[in-house]
Structure 1
């Protein structure tokens, strides 16, 4: 054995020889032997995954890479439906990792150029090998590593130039790998391959849900895109759709639809439901639900129960959220345009929506419970929406008599609750009153005995009594209408309730009472499919330089300029030449080729205006549309139906319009256009803008513009302000000629309403200026009283002769009026009696502007699924602007509106709500807005403080304590500063509140004995 281990020879070297041998150059033979060995490894066709891994590790050339990718894409065994690399194994994970980290950065440029070679091209083979959850995770891990490296180098310096390049390559790779609507189906097939054991399948399925539904792809792609742009601004990173949450959500929705349309097994159905629940949390739940409705429910080639099966495996909270969003979608897109649903075309459409809702419900019956909650819960049964959606839901509920009775009993109990009458918004009470009347009609037709017994109970008697004793006029009106309607169903003609009030016999009262006769059935979906257009998703555009105004080619000269000599000149001296035209800014360029002769004309029809607004790539169209919209909409408001038919479309275009070309006065023109729409159709568009403020997917600045529009348009309707665009929009037949107008009016030639150059743009803080003027007018009398009190007693004050004469005349008039024996004839002629005119403007502001804003705000606070909307609504700037808008609305309505008690109660309680007061802590801007709200309330209710203290006694005392705490917590001292102004405002509000509390102290305590 020792001989076998005996060394053949021993070579000894010194340290100097060893170092020289370490740095020696390889001989030509040795280099050729290493290259030949590497070439043998590369060009050897792979026979297994180990061979493929070895080839990829040795930096293969292009042909070797194609052969390896072709081998990995083969199916093994041949009858298998899955390639080798997609089979779950440790070797597959190593292959995917080396493809992502080594091969893609080196060969991506070559592979993308070779895309036209067909199915077997290198790029197609590479994407096929990486189109799995393993491949996506490998890309995400590499992206995370590069992003962290770039951030660490950004702080330490210097930067590696290849990081942004590798990030751009990986983002392109991720976009290409995830392309396709069948991606999720293929991932599920891979997860369930080769085994039926749930212990192995379940972790794979959970990995799919965690990777695709957690938002990890969106966050990493967006972060990598920003880092790539920051490190290399010169290179554009475009079309990275996974970084856009909306486009990614739509892609995930299409994949869910593809999987749902296959033959669903229980594990497939569970995967779809889990992914759908995850996708709802990505921030675009309404768009996702609308997409699934369009592709699953409103598709003639798909069964109507597919969506119901998908919702069946969702948790109860998610089912409730999806069902409420479905109801909202049907109301907004199909039923709200019907108004009160009084026409004949409303019945088939309502039946179709009822059939669609019934198809969406869970087959196990959990959805009916959510519908009952929607009808009778605090959400208000579709608060701010038309009666059509409530009729459709009642048609679904009417299929079960017990559910109908439940809705009727809960609605009646809620309708007569004193706390509900006192604290609920008017819109919510109206919606619940409609549900009560509808359910009573259904119950009367199916079980009249049950309705008769219910109307003999104490619940019914207390409901009518509490309604008639309510302090608010609208609450009493609803009580009288419901009482007459339900009594007419059960009682005989001699015993029917009849309050003999004018309000209940008008159109609105008759419409409410007619709801008991409404009966809808479940119908087919055909009316919903008529005229439906599916809008394809827009691709995400990368950062680009917006186009400038196009420069036309130089015009071709079609004439010859001939110079005449003096001898050939005409001799007619009596011809008077025309005056030279005014200079044109367009023609003042030195280069004649830059002069435009094909400028578009201003739109004269609403459809042309809409066309111009949609053309977001044309500077001229956008500028003309914005400049023309205010006057054109006002001019067309009362002539024809153009504005009424396209009002919502115009409003949505103007609200969502962005300043791509950095136009001058862009925001002012956009706001003026929206104001023109509201002034043209205030009853409809006031509610539309209020609903859009809460429900629309808009930015904070766009929502702020909606509030500005509502505030300024309400003041214009009330007559406080007149827009210059109203004079522009007047037809020539309604105005005098300029020469004649000078004879009657002090005409200022500089004011020429025929051109928009004389129009003054709105200041950026228009509402703030109006609120400040309101606060100044509120504080002025208090300041004057305080100044008089500070100068000493009134007896010591000197008065002028004129003031003493006025005081003497006033005393004589008081004596004459108090003593009938003294006859005093006034020299002033007796004023004629003015006929009482109903204040329709105040009613319009209260119902179409104020009530929707307050009711939807409270609904958003109590909604469990509106976390994102709450975050937006309680942004300090937006919340302050919202409160200022409410203050201006109630001030514009004035003290003569019949709805003033209800408006006062709603705004006062909203200002004292916990959420608003918490937002005002430490924020002067919000605190000032709350104080301005109290200023408007005290100013409008100056003559009815007794009623305010009687109805809102607790709220008045609570407001006094809160304002006192605000006043004590402010330091002030900086004259003219913001804190000093807020403290002065708080002092004024506190003085007025203390006056009311001191004057009606006994009333606030409830001791009215002997007090008049």
Structure 2
């Protein structure tokens, strides 16, 4: 019924125009309508002469011409004959005018104002926006938004919500978007607040009001709440882009305005600008804000980094430290990480440019210098997981002062030789600090050789070398040897030089570390920061030549015709013609215009694959790219440099790809593509995926897929998993023709025909692997328990052959007690242990980056890092991934003591155990981590008890408490499975403690 009763027209009349006989009988005839219009009085056009007249006109629902006249009068900077100098200046009269404009004029005249928006500068909308472009106008809009939102959320309005509430909220949001548009809004507001003759005492409260309104998050919260009500009221209506409701877009707008405000030479309110910047950092996107300010104030032509330093100078110490650390991270990620080890001379100008930017930001701020020194020597790891370029740039920035560089050297040397640091710090962090130590030693040697010589004669140096040589981890010992030889080479001459005569210290990596003492970077111009990115030196290297077997060359032209005899000819013709299709599936559509004849072809080059992945609007391109990615990457991995040059770009596209078209097996294909990249380039992509998991701006499911990729690819590299895509990616030249394959291979009973169907990766692939490994871990204990239940071992029967084989094995062990050489019991053939390069790869490029970044994230104040660490699903998956990586590396890993110590302490950490309380998935992940540790270290429990005695006993007590706290009883349930796993881990731990009790006694004296 409401749709049938609609007014034909609406006539607005003021009270002065209303007469006693205003209600007239209307006729449908055209003549009567014409006579009525003639009898109605026409409102007179009014032009205000004073602000009070303008206020009176606006209150009485003026016509459009009167409205334009009033707005034009108020838009003047000075109103003659009145104390109101400008409507933007705070005063009682201006507050009344703004209130009338927001509450009366905007709701009633908005449609007309929007229609007139494209007119010249004298349009009513432009005049209205000018009158409201002040802190008073913004506050009036926010108050009106809050009132309408509260009314919409009230219980009475929820039962029968008036339709005009959502309409009014939409109008106010549109007005707010148009009013705040532009990068100079806050600069104009600051000028207006300080332009009066009231003095700084009255200007300061106005500035504080601006800072509190725009930096406090009030605009974002009210706009987001109102936008949600508008969308819920009309979900089918196409909503506009209300950017103030998006915290990221609003933060970027605030950052651009802050940059404009800070770079303006006429702005004397540096403290208020810094306060605004400090509040903007708390809006939830600090990295995006700092990156935008760097691009506006530092990394741009004709920019002065000192402006950014002034912005930092008025911040609190904690805020300064946080911003500077983020600045270093941004410079590393955007400019220096692509340089790798910076071995090329082309990297030096870019490092000098970054050093110049950091030196300009630091300026004369002593606190900034202290923060740089703390970053180089603190527990954050001096850019943990990042390239050496950023460390070189920071040292070059602070090397202008001799005292600063000496302080870095002394702190680095004391930390490098600390026993607790050697024992508990991840090896990735120790490598970063070793680089800082060597670089700073080179600077001190050039500035003050006597100071370095005195330092190397002190007890700190002797304790450092002795503690390093006593380190239980081989990598820690090698680092100590390399640092010792490098620093001794700077001071000592001839035979006095320290030389451990180890192959590891003279290899490529050791020589690179020793060369760091000769590096010297200067403060350079910022021009190299503005140039477009070029390929890293690694990409400019010539590809390795691969020797291929020489094949007979075919003649360039013509055919080879060979006549076969009857005996050599096949019995039946191998050429089978294709059957003619009954119908073309492309013609099944009734509409011929919808038939796609020019379908895209599958990509054969990596650049085409990237092009397809970027085309998110094409269904065919997305489908072809996903189905082709795993096979194409594996096929191109060892041929050319396509994969190595575009590996990071491909990985970033796949990690952030969304299922826009709801493709079949989308998630499985996406993960398989990332696995193919990780398997193709493990040294590079293992670290990249670990860094992306902690630093990237991705969802929980996308981060979980990164962990799945690391776990599955590590097991494939170790040989535990075999992907069907590997066989599908093999070139035809590596396989026999089908006819020859049938003749020569099919008769072999051990041969199985490979399947051509590609099996999709199940969504719970890691959980399935964890379940199988858990069963393998518990199987021996279950078998021994079953044997104990059947009777004593003496009564059990065994065959003569089994006893004979067992006696021969015992005899072999007595004759050849060397555990490093294995013998078979029958032929006595010696099988020497082969160095496990895969274990080194997994330990260095997969396991260590994940654990080191976890430790760095624990000490970070970033809210995003804390969210990642303490999300139950991600934490459980993260621990399972580390356990799988350790198991894939295996017991023959040279760095197994270091990996065991890092993972054991991580599992016993307060953050992990606190999250395991009451959370069965996290508890199961921790127990599975202990199971993997015990399984891999089965033959070295004595060393584990010697190195981690306290940790072993602490783990036993914790697992016992978990086992006692689980009730179980639900056969096959999750709690029962966790209880069984806890029982297995507890049994293995008690066996180790009982067997090596005497080893643990010395380490556990005083253990509470």
- For 2:616, the equivalent position in structure 1 comes to 616
Q: CA deviation at 1:39?
A: 8.4
Matched, 1:847 2:876: no
Distance 1:651 1:42 in 2: 70
Distance 2:293 2:82 in 1: 33
1:186–1:26 distance in 2 versus 1, CA, 3 Å: closer
Tell whether 2:351 aligns with 1:350.
yes
CA distance in 1, matches of 2:527, 2:293: 18
Give the secondary-structure state (helix, strand or coil) at the position aligned to 1:367.
helix
Counterparts of 2:44 and 2:147 in 1: how far apart (Å)? 29
1 CA distance for matches of 2:813 and 2:839?
Answer: 35
Structure 1 residue aligned with 2:328:
327
Task: Note if 1:675 corresponds to 2:672.
Answer: no
What is the CA-CA distance between 1:1007 and the residue it aligns to?
8.4
What is the Cα deviation at residue 839 of structure 1? 1.1
1:980 and 2:976 aligned: yes
Residue in 2 that maps onto 1:993 = 989
Contact persistence 1:289–1:325 (CA under 8 A): yes
Alignment RMSD? 2.8
Q: Are the counterparts in 2 of residues 168 and 237 from structure 1 also a CA contact under 8 Å? A: no
Measure the CA separation in 1 of the matches of 2:762 and 2:22: 84
- SS of equivalent residue, structure 1 residue 266: coil
**Contact between 1:741 and 1:747, CA under 8 Å: does it hold in 2?**
no
SS at match of 1:787: helix
Q: Which residue of 1 aligns with 2:913?
A: 917
Q: Out of 224, 227, 234, which is 1:225 matched to?
A: 227
Structure 2 CA distance for partners of 1:645 and 1:39, relative to 1, 3 Å: farther
Q: Counterpart in 1 of 2:290?
A: 289
- Superposed, 1:591-602 pairs within 5 Å as 591-602=591-602
Taking a change above 3 Å as real, the CA distance of residues 154 and 591 of structure 1, as seen in their structure-2 partners, is farther
Aligned mates of 1:313, 1:403 — CA distance in 2: 23
1:474, distance to aligned residue in structure 2 (A): 0.6
Distance 1:788 1:835, change over 3 A: closer
What secondary structure does 2:118 align onto?
Answer: helix
Residue 128 (structure 1) aligned to one of 127, 130, 135: 130
1:639 aligns with 2:639: yes
Which residue matches 1:379?
A: 380
Deviation at 1:728, TM superposition (A): 1.7
1:789 aligns with 2:785: no
Contact 2:714 2:885 in 1 (8 A): yes
1:656 paired with 2:656, answer yes
Q: Tell me how far apart the structure 1 counterparts of residues 459 and 625 of structure 2 sit (CA, whole Å).
A: 62
In the superposition, relative to structure 1, how do residues 490 and 42 fare at CA in structure 2: closer, same or farther (>3 Å)? farther
Pair 196,735 (structure 1): closer, same or farther in 2 beyond 3 Å: farther
Separation (CA, whole Å) in 1 of partners of 2:462 and 2:55? 85
Shift in alpha-carbon separation, 1:64–1:516, aligned structure 2, 3 A = same
1:815, CA displacement in angstroms? 6.4
- Farther off after superposition, 728-737 or 874-883: 728-737
1:1006 is paired with a residue of what secondary structure?
Answer: helix
3-state DSSP class of the match of 1:452?
A: helix
- Asked if residue 949 in structure 1 is aligned to residue 945 in structure 2, the reply is yes
Taking the aligned partners of 2:56 and 2:815, their CA distance within structure 1 comes to 120
Conserved? CA contact 1:42–1:55, under 8 Å: no
What is the alpha-carbon distance in structure 2 between the residues aligned to residue 747 and residue 166 of structure 1? 78
Question: Aligned-pair distance for 1:835?
Answer: 5.4
Matched with 1:823 is none
| 2:692 paired residue number | 692
- Over 3 Å counting, the alpha-carbon distance change for 1:791 and 1:292 in structure 2 is same
CA shift, 1:48, in A, is: 2.3
Q: Does 1:908 align with 2:904?
A: yes
- Of 376-385 and 137-146, more deviation after overlay is shown by 137-146
CA contact under 8 A between 2:224 and 2:246: conserved in structure 1? yes
Aligned to 2:761: 762
User: Which residue of structure 1 lines up, in the alignment, with residue 517 of structure 2?
Assistant: 516
Q: Relative to structure 2, which stretch is displaced further, 117-126 or 920-929?
A: 117-126
C-alpha contact (below 8 Å) 1:412/1:460 kept by paired residues: yes
Q: Secondary structure at the match of 1:28?
A: coil
- Tell me the secondary structure at the aligned position of residue 494 of structure 2: coil
State the 1:28 CA deviation: 2.1
Taking the aligned partners of 1:265 and 1:873, their CA distance within structure 2 comes to: 42
Q: Give the structure-1-normalised TM-score.
A: 0.88
Deviations 1:179-219 (A, max 9, x none): 01110111112211323422211111011111111111112
Say if 2:359 and 2:397, in contact at 8 Å, map to a contact too. Answer: yes
Cα distance, 1:748 vs structure 2: 10
Residue aligned with 1:203, SS: helix
Alpha-carbon distance in 1 for matches of 2:577, 2:414: 88
- Post-superposition offset of 1:905: 0.3
Change (3 A) 1:586 1:150: farther
After the TM superposition, which residues 876-915 of structure 1 pair with which residues of structure 2 at under 5 Å, given as runs?
876-915=872-911
Q: Give the whole-Å Cα distance in 2 for the aligned partners of 1:155 and 1:928.
A: 49
> Which of 252, 255, 258 pairs up with 1:253?
255
TM-score by length of 2: 0.88
Tell me, yes or no, if structure 1 residue 178 matches structure 2 residue 176: no
Once the 2 structures are TM-superposed, how far is the Cα of residue 260 of structure 1 from its aligned partner?
2.1
Aligned to 2:734: 734
Number of the residue aligned with 1:714: 714
- Alpha-carbon distance in 2 for matches of 1:815, 1:30: 122
Within 5 Å, give how 1:161-240 maps onto structure 2: 161-240=163-242
Q: In the alignment, which residue of structure 2 is the partner of 1:779?
A: 778
Please give the alpha-carbon distance, in whole angstroms, between the structure 1 residues aligned to 2:41 and 2:149.
35
> Quick one: distance in 2 between partners of 1:812 and 1:598?
72
Shift of 1:783: 1.0
Q: 1:811 to 1:751 in 2, by over 3 A?
A: closer
Distance 1:727 1:90 in 2: 81
Greater shift after overlay, 329-338 or 970-979?
329-338
In the TM superposition, residue 164 of structure 1 has moved relative to its aligned partner by: 1.8
Corresponding residue of 1:4: none
Does structure 1 conserve the Cα–Cα contact (< 8 Å) formed by 2:50 and 2:82? no
- What is the aligned partner in structure 2 of residue 455 from structure 1? 456
Partner of 1:393 in structure 2? 394
1:309, distance to aligned residue in structure 2 (A): 2.0
Partner of 1:51: 53
Q: CA deviation at 1:406?
A: 0.7
CA distances 1:18-77 after superposition (whole Å, capped 9, x unpaired):
xxxxxxx97328999xx99x9899743222222222222222222222222112112215
| Cα deviation 1:524-557 (Å, max 9, x = unaligned) | 1111111169xxxxxxxxxxxxxxxxxxxxxxxx
- Deviation, 1:448, is 0.9
Equivalenced residues, count:
926
Indicate the larger mover: 308-317 or 923-932: 308-317
Distance of 1:578 and 1:316 partners within structure 2? 78
Does residue 956 of structure 2 align to residue 960 of structure 1? yes
Tell me if the contact between 2:626 and 2:673 (Cα under 8 Å) persists in the aligned partners. yes
The answer on whether the counterparts of 2:907 and 2:929 sit within 8 Å (CA) in structure 1 is yes
Q: Which of 21, 35, 46 is the aligned partner of 1:28?
A: 21
SS of 1:945's equivalent? helix
Bigger Cα displacement from structure 2, 622-631 vs 513-522: 622-631
Residue 829 of structure 1: how far off its partner (Å): 6.8
> Secondary structure, in 3 states, of the residue corresponding to 1:494?
helix
> What runs of 5+ residues in structure 1 fail to find an aligned partner?
1-24, 534-575, 821-825
From 109, 115, 118, the counterpart of 1:116: 118
